[in-house]
Structure 1
């Protein structure tokens, strides 16, 4: 029986317009009404997850920035993590050599060294604007303790840079392609999977009692934790092969949980 549903946001529960489909919203509400706990796991900041939850009109456990931060639905902090400043500075300087947008993120702010027309398009997808910080390298470790560095560029650039970073810093960082043309660089052992494991331990929920929904490479660590993993049908083939179920929407995944996986329990009621 599924007791906990964990959903990714962008590309899964959340559209590029920052909206949730009505059928997905109703599905999450129905799952909660049926006694299933709900969590969100995203590369976004916690304050952005809270904005999404306002639309659902529900409280939820929250895994933000790919697992750097974990909060329960009662706002108890279970985990937080940040880079060693010297490592963050080195990675940032290398990323700035690319033809790319580079964001430095702490828990509640996305920072950028210089605004331009490309950044304006990016801001349309954010719930909170970017904060411009000249001389970013000098600020890292002083005023900013980064928990994530995001590089936005063409896929070929992203793939090459990911390999470069793992070769040089693989003992102290992990990397995830969280969506096309987007590379997230995290402190070592920070992932949605490790965060979900911590949350499950806190809630005393077992892997076979957990279902997770996602669509990107940073969701794979979650998929590997539970036999009930649901991937969106638009996902990359390498992501699809990591999940048990392929679905078109969150509402379809919830329907499978309520009518097939949890059906014996519902029948007993």
Structure 2
């Protein structure tokens, strides 16, 4: 027998990673080796930039592919194969709107290789955001941003304001950019039309595959379209209710290594 899928896509935070923001490297090595033998592509589809993901998978990154910053930048076989940027002037306008409308948010702006935060941001917030960014520069004011294109804005809300911020940005900038609640406390903003699903479609096409060949795992609002795309879609037990409503199946919690458990069940069922 053969596995019923030819590609695996996993979200990171709240999905593939456990509560310590880590994963079982030894077990993953075993699973990845099996997938390579079976011709199954392993894809990370994350809001994280590639600068961070390279660190997360330092021992495995050459054996995987990546849909990064929610689909704005695609990495296949270690090379960038696609990028959908946001112009600097639109970045500045959106940041100003978000910070003006929701006083107290901490903002991070991602470029292809580096992210930026204000020096005035709270130290704890800067440390938290720097973990996700991988490489961070500090600015006195947003107008000091380099004159280049960027791939994402993240608003860290601290509370439960993410749905309100998401709606406000989408209402104002509807056909230009798209905002997603990646967690209860965070909103990611990308170029309009960018999503993990669209990024996966492009990446899968490179391999001669479609969503019919895909198994996907997610927990947050930015995973919904990806789960709709996948024939075998799993929401994590710890995921948002709206994510569980669109997925075909429920995986155990990320703190229980839910992704590994599901994949191991498929391996036992089809390959043993």
- Distance across 1 between alignment mates of 2:156 and 2:162: 7
Q: 2:193 aligns with which of 177, 183, 189?
A: 189
- Distance across 1 between alignment mates of 2:60 and 2:82: 25
- Partner of 2:234: helix, strand, or coil? strand
The answer to whether the aligner puts 1:257 opposite 2:260 as a matched pair is: no
The answer to whether the aligner puts 1:246 opposite 2:250 as a matched pair is: yes
2:227 corresponding residue in structure 1: 223
- Partner of 1:126: helix, strand, or coil? helix
Give the 3 Å change call, closer, same or farther, for CA 19–173 of structure 1 in structure 2. same
- Higher deviation after alignment, 120-129 or 142-151: 120-129
- Higher deviation after alignment, 201-210 or 59-68: 201-210
1:204 corresponding residue in structure 2: 208
2:93 corresponding residue in structure 1: 90
1:134 corresponding residue in structure 2: 140
CA displacement 1:67-96 (0-9 Å, x = unmatched): 0101112x2322101112222111111122
| Equivalence map 1:28-67=2 (5 Å) | 28-56=32-60, 59-67=63-71
- Distance across 2 between alignment mates of 1:13 and 1:55: 16
> Structure 2: 5+ residue runs without aligned partners?
253-257
Q: 1:163 aligns with which of 163, 167, 185?
A: 167
- Distance across 2 between alignment mates of 1:127 and 1:112: 10
| Equivalence map 1:14-29=2 (5 Å) | 14-22=17-25, 23-24=27-28, 26-29=30-33
TM-score by length of 2: 0.87
The answer to whether the aligner puts 1:117 opposite 2:126 as a matched pair is: no
> Structure 1: 5+ residue runs without aligned partners?
none
**Deviation (angstroms), 1:120:** 4.5
The answer to whether the aligner puts 1:106 opposite 2:111 as a matched pair is: yes
TM-score by length of 1: 0.88
- Distance across 2 between alignment mates of 1:46 and 1:95: 25
- Distance across 1 between alignment mates of 2:50 and 2:112: 7
**Deviation (angstroms), 1:62:** 0.8
- Distance across 2 between alignment mates of 1:19 and 1:44: 14
8 Å Cα contact 1:230/1:253 also seen in 2: no
Aligned residue pair count? 260
**Deviation (angstroms), 1:171:** 0.9
- Partner of 1:205: helix, strand, or coil? coil
The answer to whether the aligner puts 1:12 opposite 2:20 as a matched pair is: no
CA displacement 1:145-191 (0-9 Å, x = unmatched): 22101001144422222111111101101111112201001110110
